[in-house]
Every structure is written in structure tokens, then in C-alpha cells.
Structure 1
Amino acid sequence: MTVRRVMGIETEYGISQPGDPSANPMVLSGRVVTAYARELGLRAAQTGWDYADEAPLQDARGWAMDREFADPSQLTDAEDPTMANVVLGNGARLYVDHAHPEYSSPEVTGPLAAVTWDRAGELVMREAARLLNQPGMPPLNLYKNNTDGKGASYGTHENYLMRRLTPFADIVKGLIPFFVSRQVICGSGKVGIGTESQRPGFQLSQRADFFETEVGLETTLKRPIINTRDEPHAVTEKYRRLHVIIGDANHCDVANFLKLGTTSLVLAIIEAGAVTRDLSLREPVAALQQISHDPSLRTTVRLEDGRELTAVQIQREYLAMVTDWLEATYGSDVDSETAEVVRRWGQTLDTLATDPMNAAADLDWVAKLQLLQGFRNRGIEWADPKLRAIDIQWSDVRADKGIFHKLAAGGRFTELVSAEAVAAAVHNPPEDTRAYFRGRAVTQFPDQIAAASWDSVIFDVPQRRTMQRVPMLEPLRGTREHVGELFDRAASADELLNELLR
């Protein structure tokens, strides 16, 4: 296993209605989803979600939480009564989650594709905002960020398919120091220290202050560095879906690419039993916040063995282990995407070790800090509300309002994926995962899809007495290579089902 594995990103978008602080965010989020769905066609808005294989209370440590003791936010297998849920033609899911509109990208097989379909989600949300901001309508704004600066936090979650045989204890031990330190690369930057920005200042991550424990099942309360939700959306005996809740929402291609790529490689050495250096932290949650609070990157955190290392030094340790393993396993015969992740990882760490500000074209937190420092040089203090407003406006999805998008239009950031590729990903699914089957079915036979999920599509075909559920428990089946010709030949959903049964 190299950098390539089945992966995806789920992004909850911030939402507000200027001038109406009492507006119900669930109602607003439902408007976002239904507006975009109606633009695709009314039937699309009626396509439900198949909850049959959802198991949000199953814990990777070997037990299941009783529903009686679960927080309502954990019950993601409860059917949405608002119908604010739609499966898109690109294989993604757009729905309301925890009072936010969420775009869950389709499954892809590498970090560059993950960046592509994550950015496609920005265009989906931009179009939804345009539809809801017509003349005479109350304004509605959407933000690709993770906190409103007033105490609310919402997630950008990553998902990685792993071998189930890998002991979960090894995953925990190998990943905690990596997650604590990787924010120097993939943090999106935040004005204010503390969950409610109680203290003035700037930090690397929008999420760091909201984590309270090392390991746990929750995602909105007592947030853990390692989430134990065991819901593979695949063959349970073979696979584990590692659900990562500690990342920030990234706009910069390089930061997002490295977030996905480096994590995939660290998972590879964990699966291979090639974690040869013990980087266990003495106080992981405290270390997470200490690192985030220091944009100079000089803060050291204590390891269990007594060493004091900076986050950049910890990342170098992981890079060395990955490099050694790749050399021993593949020699010079490593794929180009893996080689690019390793090259950029080392290059970025070198830059951060010398002058972090030189990474402004690649990393979100650095680019944001550089902009804010320009205002500070004019005498504006960190406690000034203007800087918080700029922080929020940075992530506005609108091309003419979002500060990041305006700077990007001027060529300020390294682009790994073209605008044309992102635009195509809005409507087309990846071709090398089961997302191809899901997206193609929704696009080609929208009136005959009753429901869908990550691992199923349910057809409601007039010629058949009962609905037909097509299971897709193997994420690498249902690709264009497997079923593309079947879709090309099928004039109806009934014909497609006949072909599949044959």
C-alpha cells in the first residue's frame, strides 16, 4: 500500500443569515440542500438515504454504545424527516448534519482526487448560495471553515479505508503524535485563543481548542483525537473505515493534498508494522493546543521518553519512517503521486523550519496570518473585531466575497488541480470506485432511484413488484471499468438490473 487507498472528505459548512441572529440554522441548512437539489430536478430532492448499514454507535474497541445513553447528535442512522438529503450525480452526498449543510465527497483512491472532489463541494455550496441570494430574498452566507469564533465548532472529517486486521491499539499509538503535530501543515488558522476566542492572538488550527480527550466515540461532545466509530461502509470482516475528526477545512491545494497524502502514508506504515520510533506524547491534548497556539513553531512538547520536540521535528520523524519503509518495500519503483507527497512533505517541513512565512502560497494558516499581519502593521491589535471579521470572510464560498477566492484569482496560491477539473467533478463521479455506479445511476435514472448510501443503491422500477437493493460493499467494484458498458447499453433501469443479475 502506497499513498493510494480509498478515502474521502466530509465538510460541514458554516452558515449565517446576516441581520437575523435568531434564524434557525437547521431550517437554513435545509434550504441550502433543497435549493441545490431542486436545481437538479425535484426527484433528486426526493432521493432518500439508505440507513440499513449505518452503525454509528459501534465502537472499534469492541463494543456498542446503548442508544439510551447516546447523545442525539450521534444517532446519524435516524432518518431525516425534513428530506434535506440528496445524492448527487458526482457520487457525493449533500445533506443537513448537526445544523450545518454538509458536503460528503465521493470515494476516491488518492489525495489529488480527494482535493478535486472536495473543491467541487465548494462550487456546489457556491451555487446553492447563489440560488438563495436572489433579489428580494433574505441573505444567506456559507463558509468553508470550522468555527464561528463564538464557541461553535463544526467538522471537516476525513475517511480512510484500512485493513481490519490492523490492531486498533497500534492505530491509536501510531496516529496520536502524528495528528497532534500535522496541524503545522494543514491547520487553517484562527483569530483568537480558546473555544470562544477568549484571549487575543492567532493560532494554527480552528479545531484544536475543541478537543478534550485522546480516544472516544463522540464527534460533537468530548471530542477525541482518535475517533472510534466502527462503521466501515464496506465488508466488515475485511475493512475498517478510519473516521478522522481532527482536521481543519483547507482551501489551499497543497495543504489539503498533504493532509490526505501524509495521513495515508502513516496509515501504511502502521498497517505494515513499520512504525519503528516511539513518539508517544505525555499529554496529547495539552500538546495539541500548545502547538496550535504558537505560530512561531518553536514550542516543544514532551514525549513519554522524556524528549522535548517541536511539531516540525515530530513530523520529520514520521517522514523518516515513511521514507525508510518506501525504500525497503518499493525501492525506486514508487508511484508518482506517492513520490510527490513525500517530496512536498519534506520541502514543506524545511520551509517551516527556516521561515514559515515562505509557505504562504501552500498553507492556509500561513497565508491567513500573512494577510492579518498586514493589518496589524497598521496598528490593529489581535483583539480588534475587524480581524475576527476578516477571519470569517476568508472562508466565504462566494468568489467575489471570499478573501481566499479573491487572492486565488490573483495567482497567490499553488494550484495542484485545475479549475476545469474541479468544474467537471461537480457533475461527474470518480471512475475508479463504486462512486461511479452511484453517481451514474442517479444521473441516468433519477426517477427510479428510491434511496442510496455509500454501499447501496435502491431502485424503484415500475416493471418490478418490489424495490431492488443493489449492495456495493466492495469500494473498488462498480467502477467505470466494471459497469461503464452496462450503463451505456441500458435504456432503462430495468435493463440495467437485468444485466447486473445476469
Structure 2
Amino acid sequence: MIVIGSETEYGISTPDNPTLSPISTSTHAVVAYSLDQRCATNVRWDFGSEHPLRDRRGFDLRRYDTVPVVDPHAIGVANTVLGNGGRFYVDHAHPEYSSPEVTNALDAVLYDAAGDHILLKAAALVAEHTAQGHSVLEHHEPAPALRIYKNNTDGKGASYGAHENYLYPRDLDFQVLAQALIPFFVARQVFIGAGRVGLGQHGERPGFQISQRADFIETEISLETTLNRGIINTRDEPHAQADSFGRLHVIIGDANLSHTSNLLKFGLTSLVLEAVIAGETFSDLALQHPVTEVQRVSRDLSLTHRLTLKDGRELTARELIAEYLARVQPRTPTDEHVLATYREVDTLLAQGPLAAAQHLDWCAKYSLITSFQARGVDIADAKMQLIDLQYTDIDPAKSLYHALVRQGKMRTLFSAEEIAQAALVPPADTRAYLRGEVIRRFDSAVVASSWESFTLAAGEQEEKLWRVVLSDPLAMGKADAEPLLRGDVGTLLSGLEQAPGVETIQLPAARY
């Protein structure tokens, strides 16, 4: 079983004050949401298990030797742990949402979309505070109206990520995994691209391409995520039992609004990863020049470009994906649904991108672009960049994507009500259930949290601290956790001390 999670850095702007720092506005968004929701407003993020510079190839460029203790409302590092088991925080001048751990592609789509709901709610809460004449941040002016975009580039040379995460067995040879996935990641753009007006990192040349991320991929394998980005990222930070699990941290993907694009992204990648775990190497599909092919695939709207393999064969991106999927083994109804969706969309793409406009982001956006071109608007016109941006606006009242949904021109997999519920309630079959429910029910007792653990204050005067460690991501789902959550914090801790897959550790109060 593959455990899946997503991380989305959203674009943020303040049209009424365009010079305002996005670090400040992102902090307003996170703090406003944390103050409104029962999501532990004073919980610190526990950086003790964070190792962002540990490389799967065997070295560690440690950022710090001691664990930092950070105010959860501090400018630029504001953080809140969510009742759905996810995390909402400021990362590099962007508001970022990390979904809770899930075990299938459909849940991955649902909980990724929940992030859009959370960001939209955060922007509305900031607006409410501003309308009342006060700021959510002490000693700061109220924030102007926020615009939030689910995209990957500001059109001025900056790119920000929509990352995927997949756990895999630690004993899987990473080089075998990397080489198996490189051609797949190059080719899958034709199903998961979000579409972009502009060519080049700064959008300096007019044109339309399939992927927002393609122009920012510069090497095959790399640890970095903000420069010298690789097709394969080597971050070795499993957020789970390190001798049992590795985490595939995928940075070569676009931020998708389309549910179908996301389903194919999470679902096809999971199926290919499971095939590699089962022993398939896909070594015969290696490309001669994979980095160059990333851009070539992205700029080939006809989908006829032929990628050159090391063995001399030439295949289109769709043909290459078909080679991969001919070797995967569906194991669940969700897997079958993913493959059926792939076959449906692939058949439509064979007719041209406009035929798949109801399913895929880049095709929907391209349909809008071509409709304006038919009216005489040149691709270099600034209106085209505005269409690109407006498509990604998460506000249904302003978003072109949401307009297509209302018009029945974009297929969805979940209703707005289901997405709103996922923003509040954790998935039932991973440790995210216990994390989220502890936040929802005992928020005032939670001192700190990470993906692997949370720390509770217990005792009559809350003078004792207990760290609950959940190294197994499949431990303490709803079936196991719910009976322990019916009492108080002391009852919960007593139950967790006896629970399999859980470790409880008493800490000195000075620890936090």
C-alpha cells in the first residue's frame, strides 16, 4: 500500500497594495485561519524530525544542530496544525497547505482540494478582520484584500511547488527507482500539466505550453527544490520509521485544480511506483536526453513529438505512458478507476487537446486561449496572461476554472460540500486520524506536533508533557483511535501507552 500526501505553495497577491510583502500577507492568512478554527492556535511545529537537507544518496547538509523553537504566529513562519490532520503554514513567502496522509488516489485528490477551501476561508477571514478595522497580527496594519492562486509561477522568473509524496520500502534501491521514474515524469505532463501562457522561466517568449513547471527543471537528479531543480528529488525525509520507509518527494508536477488531472497524477504515479517495488525496472524506457525532453514535451501541443530512447526507439509521450501502464498491476477498485479514467482521457487526447477540455487543466485553459485567439487576440497580448492567472484563482466568484465547473464544462469528482468536509475531518485509515482528532478535541492540551508525533500537556496542572510517537503511518486510524478519544487527555494517554505501533515518552516541562 502506497501512502500519499501533497504540498501546495499558493500564489498570493494584494492588488490594492501590490508592494506589500507576501511574507506578511501569508502570515495574516495562516494566523486568521488558526484563530477562527479549532486547530490548536498555540501549537508549535516540532522540527526535531525535520531533515530537509538529508540526501537519499547518503549525505546530510544539516541546516541546524539544535532544534529551533518557533512562535506559531511569527511573521514568515506562522504555522497551524489542522483538524483534518494536515498543516497550514508560511513557507518562503507563500501560504502552503500540506494534506494529511492518505492511502489511495481518490482521497489524495479530495484532501488536496481541501487546501483550496482552507485558503479561500483564510482570505475571507482576513477580509473580515480588515473590515472591522483591526489586524490579526499584533503591531501590524490590517491586510488588504488577498487574492490566492493555485499556480506554479509568477511570470517573473519565480516558480513555487506543488509537491507529491509517496512512501516506499527503504530497501528499494534508490538508483533503480530514480531511473525507472525519470521517463515517466517527463511524459506524464500530457495528463497533469496545468497549462501556461509564456515560454521560458520569465515567460519572455510568447506562446502556450502544457506545464507550468517544465521550464524550471534543470537537471536529472538533485536535492534542491528552489534552484537547480531535478526531475528526481533526493530528499531523504520519510516522516516515518527511517529504517523501514523512504519518501519519494516529487517536485516535477503542476498545481492542479482539475480533479481528473490530480487523479491521474496521484493514481498513475502510485501504480508505477508499486510496479517498481514489485521488481519492474522499466530500464528499456530510459531517455537519451531527459532534461531537454521535459521542455520539448511541454511545448508540443500537438502531442506528436517523439522522445528518443537510449535504445534508439522513438515514442510520443502518450506512447511512453502506455508502455508503463501495460506493466502495472491494479490491486484495488481505485486503481481500476484510475486506469479507466486514463484510457478515457487518452482516447480524447488522441483527437487533440480540445477534446479533453472537460477533464484536464491544460486542455481547458488552452480551449479558453484558442477561443480568444479566434476573436483576434494575439497570444502575446497581456489579456492572455490574465486568462492564465484567472483560471487559477481559487475564488469561485472570480475563477475561470470554477466558471467552467458551473457551466458543466469541467468534470469534478467531489462536490463543494465533500471538499469542505475534508477540510475539517481527517482521513480514517492513517495516523492522520489520531492527529486531526486530537487537534479537534484536545486543542488546548496540544503543545507541539509534527508528522510523526505530537506532544500533550497532562496532569492536574498540566505540569507533565508527553510525546506520542507514531512512526507507522498506518497506525491509529479511526478503528483503533476512536475508542481512546472518548475520555479526557489522561484517558487518551493511558490507552496510547498500550496501543501497538505507538510510543509515549514523558518529557521535561522545559522541553517546550
**Separation (CA, whole Å) in 2 of partners of 1:257 and 1:455:** 26
Percentage identity across paired residues of the two chains: 47
Q: Give the AA of the match of 2:473.
A: P
Task: Say if 1:301 and 1:276 are closer, same or farther in 2 by CA, change over 3 A.
Answer: closer
Structure 2 counterpart of 1:181, which letter? A
- The Cα shift of 1:101 comes to 0.3
Q: How many residues align structurally?
A: 481
Match of residue 484 from structure 2: 486
Residue 85 of structure 1 aligns with which residue?
79
Does 2:401 correspond to 1:404?
A: yes
Q: Is the 8 A contact 1:56 1:76 kept in 2?
A: no
| Equivalent-residue separation in structure 1 for 2:365 and 2:67 (angstroms) | 37
Indicate conservation of the 8 Å contact 2:155/2:201, yes or no: yes
Inter-partner Cα distance in structure 1 for 2:157 and 2:337: 38
Question: 1:76: how far off?
Answer: 13
Go from structure 1 to structure 2 and tell me whether the alpha carbon gap of 1:354 and 1:65 turns closer, same or farther (over 3 Å shift). same
Q: Which residue of 2 is the match for residue 17 of structure 1? A: 14
- Give 1:55 shift: 1.1
Partner residue of 1:127?
121
The correspondence of residues 33-432 of structure 1 with structure 2, limited to 5 A, is 33-40=30-37, 44-67=40-63, 79-81=69-71, 82=74, 84-134=78-128, 135=131, 138-276=144-282, 278-322=284-328, 325-326=329-330, 334-432=331-429
* Letter matched to residue 263 of structure 2: F
Instruction: Encode CA deviations 1:135-189: one digit per residue, 9 max, x unaligned.
Output: 4762211101111111111000000010111100111111000000000000000
* Structure 1 contact 112–417 (Cα < 8 Å) conserved: no
- CA distance in 1 between counterparts of 2:118 and 2:409 reads 23
Larger deviation, residues 32-41 vs 439-448: 32-41
Deviation at 1:495, TM superposition (A): 1.9
CA distance in 1, matches of 2:184, 2:2: 19
Q: Which whole-Å CA distance do the structure 1 matches of 2:52 and 2:297 have between them? A: 31
Distance 1:220 1:133, change over 3 A: same
Q: 2:472 aligns with which of 441, 453, 474?
A: 474
| Alignment partners' CA distance in 2, 1:274 and 1:301 | 21
RCO (CA 8 Å, sep 6+): is it higher in 1 or 2? 1
Q: What is the CA distance between 1:466 and its match in structure 2?
A: 2.9
Matching residue of 1:450: 447
1:248 shift after superposition: 0.5
Q: CA deviation at 1:278?
A: 1.2
Q: Is the 8 A contact 2:176 2:281 kept in 1?
A: no
For 2:211, the aligned partner's letter is: S
Q: What is the RMSD computed on CA atoms of the aligned residues?
A: 1.7
Q: Tell me, which stretches of 5 or more residues in structure 2 are unaligned?
A: 134-142, 499-512
Contact conserved, 1:319 with 1:345, CA < 8 A, in 2? no
CA distance in 2, matches of 1:54, 1:9: 17
Long gaps (5+) in structure 1: 69-74, 327-333
State whether residues 110 and 414 of structure 2, in contact with CA within 8 Å, keep that contact through their aligned partners in structure 1. yes
**Alpha-carbon distance, 1:66 to partner:** 4.9
Partner of 2:497: 501
Contact 1:148-1:392 within 8 A present in 2 as well: no
Runs of 4+ deviating beyond 6 Å: none
SS of equivalent to 1:460: strand
Question: Residues 14 and 276 of structure 1: is their aligned pair in 2 closer, same or farther, counting only changes over 3 Å?
Answer: closer
Map Cα deviations across residues 72-121 of structure 1 (whole Å, 9 max, x no partner): xxx99755451510001000100001110001000011010011111111
Contact 1:161 1:239 in 2 (8 A): yes
TM-score normalised to structure 1 length: 0.93
Q: Is the 8 A contact 1:55 1:77 kept in 2?
A: no
Distance 1:368 1:155 in 2: 20
Query: Which whole-Å CA distance do the structure 2 matches of 1:276 and 1:51 have between them?
Result: 37
Structure 2 counterpart SS, 1:397 = coil
